[in-house]
Amino acid sequence: MNILANDGISQSGINALEDAGFKVITTKVAQEQLINYINENDVAVLLVRSATTARKDLIDACPGLKIIGRGGVGMDNIDVEYAREKGLKVINTPAASSASVAELVFAHLFGGVRFLHDANRNMPLEGDTKFKVLKKNYAAGSELRGKTIGIVGFGRIGQEVAKIALGCGMKVIFSDMYVDEATIKVDFFDGQRVTFNFDSVPMSKLLKESHFITLHVPAQKEYVIGVNEIGQMRDGVGIVNAARGGVIDEVALLDALDKGKVAFAGLDVFEKEPTPEIKILMNEKVSLSPHIGAATREAQDRIGTELAEQIKSILK
C-alpha cells in the first residue's frame, strides 16, 4: 500500500511504515498535479503538513484514498468533516510538536526584550564601526521574570508555553472560550514536580494586565487581535504569534509598533504566507521566523512515529 508524504516525513516515520510493509513516497508533488499523482500511483494515504491542502475537490477525485494525515496540530488545510463524511480517516499529531512551538515562542520573547533580532541585523553591518552606538541603542532591555504573560488559547501548546513561563518566574494568565480551568504540572530533571491550577480569565482582563501576549488558537474568520484589542493593551506590550497567520491584524499591529503601543512582535506566521508583507519583514521591531514552530528534529521524529502508529492501527 502506497503512502505519499507530500510535505516530508522523518526518517523514523519512514522506517516504521516500511517495517510494517508500506511503501513511502516522499516526492514533492505540486498542488495542481496532486490529484493525478495520487490516482496514477494508487496512493491510499496522503500525509501533509501546512504546505499541501486536501480540499473537497481532491477528496472527490481520489476514491482510492483511505487516510489523510496532518503532521502537526491545525487541520485548517484539510476539509476534515467532508472527508470523514466520505468515509476517510483524518488523523493528526496534536501533542507531538507542542514543546517545540512553545520554545520558539520564548526564543522570540527572549530576543524581543533584549533586541536580539535587531542587533543581529545591525552588528554585521555596523558592529565594527558603531559598536558604542549599538551598545547604547540596545542597552534598555528588560527581564521576563516577574512579568505577566497572557496566553490566548490554552490547549496543548498554550499549556506548554505556561510551563516555560512558570519556570522563568512569570505570572501566567490565560483566556480560552472552551477551557474554563486547567492544571499545569511542571516536571524537573530530578523527578520533582510542581503543580499549578489556573482559571480562564476574560479576554478584556488578559489584554489589560499582560506584559506579553502569545496566541495559540486555530485560524479564525475574524481577527483575534485587531485595533480594538490592541487599544485595550498596556503600553509597551510584546506580542508573539506562532499559531496561524490572520489571527492578528497586521496593519493594526504595524501601526501600534510605529506608535510605541506595542514594543515588539514575534511572528512565525503571516497573513499572506508564504509571501509576507514587506513592511512586516523590514520592521525593526518585529522578530521573524518562517513558520518553523514545529520544525525541530525531536518534534519531527515524534510526528513521524505517531503518524506511523496511527496508520498501522487503522490499516493493519
Instruction: List residues with catalytic annotation.
Output: 244, 273, 291
Which burial class, exposed, middle or buried, applies to 251 when counting CB atoms under 10 A from its CB (0-12, 13-18, 19+)? Answer: middle
CB neighbour list of residue 54: distance below 8 Å, 6 or more residues apart:
46, 48, 68, 77, 78, 79, 83
Cβ density class 169-200: b for 16+ within 10 Å, e for less: ebebbbbbeebeebebeeeeeeeeeeeeebeb
SS3 14: helix
Beta carbons within 10 angstroms of residue 128's beta carbon = 8
CB neighbour list of residue 280: distance below 8 Å, 6 or more residues apart:
250, 254, 267, 270, 286, 288
Beta carbons within 10 angstroms of residue 56's beta carbon = 11
Strand order of the β-sheet with 148-152 is 171-175, 148-152, 212-215, 237-241, 262-267, 286-288
φ, ψ for residue 249 (rounded to 5)? -75, 105
Residue pair 108/240 in contact (Cβ under 8 Å)? The answer is yes
Look up residue 33 and give its three cell numbers.
498535479
Residue pair 132/155 in contact (Cβ under 8 Å)? The answer is no
Look up residue 74 and give its three cell numbers.
491545525
